Structure 1
Amino acid sequence: MKGSTHLAIGTVIGIAAAMYHPFSVHNTALYIAVSAFSALSADLDGNSILSSRIGKFSKQIRQLLVWGSLILTSVLTFLFLYDQSFHAEYSIVCLIALLFGFITKEGMIRNALISAIGGLLMYGGWHFNMNWLIGLGLFIAWAPWLKHRGMTHTVWALCIWGMISYSMEQQLQVDGLMAVATTSYLSHLLADTLTPQGVKWLYPLYKRSIKLRL
């Protein structure tokens, strides 16, 4: 199912929570932000709304590595032919950058960038003593390397998300955050269950996709 559909469902859940609980601008913004992000988080294991910008940036990084190393190779070749000077350190850097640019796929660079963001969140959680932020960072760092519609689309991931959001609710002292986050994550799995590909809810214990066709 399209990311925009998941986002719309999550936003509606956040708005409903804001209407149910005592109103405040801060809490309303928090409900909507948490629900929208939770509804999209299961797709961190692939190219999605959350990672599309990073995917474009990873393509630019790969092109920069390839073209930058080719230009540097041309300069080093010119210097060698012109005055017989050989710069070993620059040549090694150039070779590594060229090999990395040709061998590394754009998806791998995207995954590394997302994992780096997760690492920063983990550091922030450790620095500010926020266990839920550490858990969120770990989830974000781990998810991109998984097969699409694999572990992030299971009941186990839903439980992990519930634990992260429970810790967040306890620390931020905002009632209903766990329910909002968990319901939004669940909505993603339910919506994908309605698609032809289905969802492997109990993977890896049960590896067949579960589908509900309307």
Structure 2
Amino acid sequence: MRGKTHCTIGVLSVIQASLLFNIPISIFNIILSAFFSILPDLDESNSIVSEMFLKKNTSKFILKITIYLINVFIFFISLKINDNFFLSSLITFISIFIIESKLNHTFLRKVFISLIFILLGFCLYLVNIKIYFSIFCFMLATFPWLKHRSFSHSIFAIIIVYFLLKQIELITNILNLSFFGTISYASHIFLGDLFTRSGIPLLYPISDKKFSLGFFKVGGFLNNAIEIIFIMILTTLVVFTIINKFNLLNLSIL
């Protein structure tokens, strides 16, 4: 399922949940839900959530600079060792092909996205922010290295996300942080990827078995059409719930 579809479903899910459970919802909650609805795809370097933390053009630029710096370093080290300009140039030229074949764009994106969360976690710890904030950042730092649709798409990931958000909620007094964050995160799995052909490993890491309730291929024409229909159904459900609550409110006043 596409990232924008996950995001829309996540927002609609928390709005519906707030209506059903009579829990007030704010703009902050909606923004939070939009973020958590795409968070599981942090294990995919080309996903929308990965792009939020590091743009592709930026990582490609960093890759070029990194390769140039490594080659310059190799050239001067080689020149210092053998004092032969032509031999050092040849060694550097050969190194270019080796480095470019090993140090690819995807690998570098994973490194830098992980470093962003690790540095954020350490910064929060150094300024004496409660440890649960840092733990949450360190957990996200592992996501880019996970196999796509593995741990981040499991029931255990949902449980951990709820636990960490609950601790942060208690510390910050942000009402219903864990409720809306967990529902939107879970919507990605149970109202999204569970209905794709490839499925998801709900019990990972205990079991690699993938569960699927659908046969749709992400990006296919039929899949995109069904995504739109599903969003329309959810939107209709939300509107119906709002109208029903409004009618019940009028009856209670009368």
Q: Could you list the per-position Cα deviations for residues 61-119 of structure 1 after superposition, in whole angstroms to 9, with x for gaps in the alignment?
A: 2233345666x59x97xx99xxx886xxxxx9999888544421211111111111111
Q: 1:97 to 1:134 in 2, by over 3 A?
A: farther
Equivalent-residue separation in structure 1 for 2:129 and 2:106 (angstroms): 32
TM, length-normalised to structure 1: 0.78
Contact 1:149 1:199 in 2 (8 A): yes
- Identify the residue that residue 123 of structure 1 maps to in structure 2: 122
Distance 1:114 1:147 in 2: 15
Instruction: Tell me the amino acid that sits aligned with residue 30 of structure 2.
Output: I
Q: Distance in 1 between the 2:56 and 2:84 partners? A: 39
- Higher alpha-carbon deviation: 93-102 or 37-46: 93-102
Alpha carbons 1:69, 1:95 under 8 Å: kept = no
Question: Which residue matches 1:202?
Answer: 203
Q: Report the Cα distance in structure 1 between the residues aligned to 2:130 and 2:93, rounded to whole angstroms.
A: 42
Q: 1:126 to 1:85 in 2, by over 3 A?
A: same
Match of 2:150 in 1: 150
Query: Alpha-carbon deviation of 1:125?
Result: 2.8
The reply on whether 1:12 has 2:40 as its aligned counterpart is: no
Q: Following TM superposition, by how much is the alpha carbon of 1:185 offset from its aligned partner in structure 2, in angstroms?
A: 0.9
- Inter-partner Cα distance in structure 2 for 1:209 and 1:17: 27
- Contact 2:42–2:144 under 8 Å retained in 1: yes
CA-atom RMSD in angstroms: 3.5
Deviations 1:144-175 (A, max 9, x none): 00100011111111111111111121112122
Q: Does the 8 Å CA contact 1:121/1:133 hold for their aligned counterparts?
A: no
Structure 2 distance, partners of 1:38, 1:129, is: 21
- Structure 1 stretches of 5 or more lacking a match? 87-91
1:39–1:187 Cα contact (<8 Å) kept: yes
CA contact (8 A) 2:14 2:183 kept: no
Q: Could you report, residue by residue, the CA deviation over 1:7-55 in whole angstroms, capped at 9, with x for unpaired residues?
A: 11222345457774446xxxx2331222111111111111210113433
- Alignment partner of 1:57 is 2:58: yes
Aligned to 1:45: 43
Contact 2:13 2:187 in 1 (8 A): no
Q: Which residue of 1 aligns with 2:185?
A: 185
1:172 lines up with 2:208 in the alignment: no
4+ residue segments displaced more than 6 Å: 92-98
For these two proteins, the number of residue pairs brought into alignment is: 202
Which SS does the other structure have where 1:51 is aligned?
Answer: helix
Distance 1:103 1:39, change over 3 A: same
1:212 CA drift (Å) = 0.7
In structure 2, the partner of 1:89 is: none
Compared CA separation, residues 97 and 31, structure 1 to 2 (3 A): farther
Superposed CA deviations along residues 109-142 of structure 1, whole A, max 9, x for unmatched, are 1111111111122113313322332122112111
**C-alpha contact 2:198 2:212 (8 A) present in aligned 1:** yes
Where does residue 138 of structure 1 map in the other structure?
A: 138
Assess, with a 3 A threshold, how the Cα gap between structure 1 residues 36 and 130 changes in structure 2: closer, same or farther.
Answer: farther
Indicate if the aligned counterparts of 1:14 and 1:34 stay in contact, CA closer than 8 A.
Answer: no
Q: Which residue of 1 aligns with 2:251?
A: none
Aligned to 2:160: 160
Distance 1:133 1:45 in 2: 20
